[in-house]
Structure 1
Amino acid sequence: MKQKIYQIDAFTDRLFGGNPAAVCIMDSWLDRGLMQKIAEENNLAETAFAVKKGDTYELRWFTPETEVDLCGHATLATAFVLFNYYGITENTIQFYSPRSGELNVKKGANGWMTLDFPTDPIVAIRNIAELDNAIGLTPIKTLKGKTDYVMVYNSQQEIEAIQPNFHLLNQLDCRGVIITAPGDDVDFVSRFFAPKCGIPEDPVTGSAHTSLTPYWSEVLGKTKLTAKQLSKRQGNLVCEYLGNRVKISGKAVPYLFGEIDI
């Protein structure tokens, strides 16, 4: 069996920036174990698999170690593939995730695409000593979302300087840890660590911005915000808070087209 595969750099307008994702558009679902092996072989933060069902594309995402509930950059990459290589003429692609419900991506001007995702409500909690030790710097505030912790700091310089202990992070009961602060030239910056999912530091995490956008929208008193993820590859996003939904916009560029011999 031959299966086309694409590798796309998402949330960037330059090659080797943003977050690389693999994309497989399939006629029908493969066995879950086989999809996990493909994701492990790709060894990227996420591999997205999509199957067309009527007017909707069902969508699932796998890290090298597990299937995840939601992935922004791989959804953006999948939309890029469909818009550019599968003859999609409409401006909006409807996706459905068995784990996260209805999602869509709208094509805008000058290469921009916009994700429409459910908001992840976050609540303030007491600082957790194990979490502070793993990150190596006590935050001014700790919050908890559906799957991630959010740690808030004072400055972009603090975010850039943090060197977490990944062994300690891997022992925490969560998908990942988001660290964030006001940005120097954007509204807010962040980094994301998820060693338990096989991703020590994710280059750009769309799903993390479903938590970050409502928080910074309230703090800064505005609904539309600019954001940057401060990984080595870096990524740029524009986010809009709409209550129970979040819009997350970015660009993408192609890196690789290939074929899997299964």
Structure 2
Amino acid sequence: MTKYQIYTVDAFASQPFTGNQAGIVTMPSWQPIAEETMQKLAAEMNISETAYLTPVDHLGEQEFQQASRFSLRWFTPTVEVRLCGHATLAAAHVLVHELGNHNEELRFDTLGGVLVVRKSPHGHLDMTFPLDIPEPVSINENFKLLATSVFGYYSDQMQMELSPALRYLVIYDPQKSAQEIACLQPRVNEALEAGHRERVEIVIATGKGQQEDFVSRVFGPWCGIDEDPVTGSAHTVLAPFWNKRLQKSQFVAKQCSKRGGILNLQLDNDHVRISGSAVVVLRGSIEL
């Protein structure tokens, strides 16, 4: 049996029990965990993502403190995912604030490419993610059913766009206020087959904000998450979606789930910078 450090972190949060939970497992380069065990532990944790963090360069006992490049993998309770913003933020927070990593820039090798996190002069962590620009879909019965499962109806006024890489479906009804988006009572599980037919991974309901530029809610039963509290990866799709409508490149976004969270976004060519903070709520170890 080998002991590993494990943390539960609330990401995109400034106080405990808000934002989005992530499990972070620090996996030394000389003590790998089998992929099957990674998935089983993620199911045991039963939160939106459990991430496994490993230094790429073998630097001995101080590798978590000294390394600037890491391998990062994310698992929901049911599947491994290609991109996850909040667990990346949580992993960087653990490195900087729990393990004493002093590098100004951290690079993460992931299934979604190389992700960069930098320390902000304001105390936040700035993540740089590639954009996944959504494109309008040809409306068919599958997309109508997906819209109905979230909003309770389908309307010809709805705008629906699908991102090519992540397969995130954005649905926007200009008639819906931010408060109405927050009050939606979706039944997305009724549209599982429709989502499978269109290879949809996540459905995002979005609308114009009041204090914020835009709001959203994120539903992903196709990857084991009924509703994700705060979703960094969704904003690689939402930022270009709202850039076309608001003609802005800098946004304050709110994900209005029950836990909720605020994200600061800055478009930069084909990338988006996502800034946020995090709070560790549990520290422990596990033997595998």
Q: Give the TM-score normalised by the residue count of structure 1.
A: 0.96
Q: Which segment drifts farther, 39-48 or 119-128?
A: 119-128
SS in 1 for 2:264: strand
Give the alignment partner of residue 67 of structure 1, picking from 80, 83, 86.
Answer: 80
SS in 2 for 1:170: helix
Query: Within 5 Å, which residues of 2 pair with 1:209-248?
Result: 209-248=235-274
* Identical counterparts, % of pairs: 40
Q: Gapped runs of 5+ residues in structure 1?
A: none
Indicate conservation of the 8 Å contact 1:137/1:162, yes or no: no
Give the alignment partner of residue 124 of structure 1, picking from 136, 149, 168.
Answer: 136
Whichever of the two has the greater Rg, that structure is: 2
Indicate conservation of the 8 Å contact 2:146/2:188, yes or no: no
4+ residue stretches of structure 1 with deviation over 6 A?
Answer: none
Q: How many residues align?
A: 261
Distance, in Å, in 1 between the alignment partners of 2:153 and 2:47 is 28
Indicate conservation of the 8 Å contact 1:148/1:177, yes or no: yes
Question: Residue type of the partner of 2:186?
Answer: P
Q: CA offsets per residue over residues 24-55 of structure 1, 9 Å max, x none?
A: 11113311100000100000100010110124
| Equivalent in the alignment of 1:40 | 43
Cα deviation, residue 76, structure 1? 0.1
Cα deviation, residue 122, structure 1? 0.6
| Equivalent in the alignment of 2:61 | none
Cα deviation, residue 116, structure 1? 0.4
| Equivalent in the alignment of 1:78 | 91
Give the alignment partner of residue 115 of structure 2, picking from 103, 106, 117.
Answer: 103
Give the alignment partner of residue 157 of structure 1, picking from 172, 175, 179.
Answer: 179
SS in 2 for 1:137: coil
Q: Give the TM-score normalised by the residue count of structure 2.
A: 0.87
Question: Residue type of the partner of 1:12?
Answer: A
Q: CA offsets per residue over residues 99-127 of structure 1, 9 Å max, x none?
A: 21110111113431111011012101134
Q: Gapped runs of 5+ residues in structure 2?
A: 58-67
What do you get for the CA RMSD once the two structures are aligned? 1.3
Question: Residue type of the partner of 1:89?
Answer: H
Cα deviation, residue 163, structure 1? 1.2
Cα deviation, residue 141, structure 1? 0.2
SS in 2 for 1:111: coil
| Equivalent in the alignment of 1:168 | 190
Distance, in Å, in 2 between the alignment partners of 1:200 and 1:49 is 22
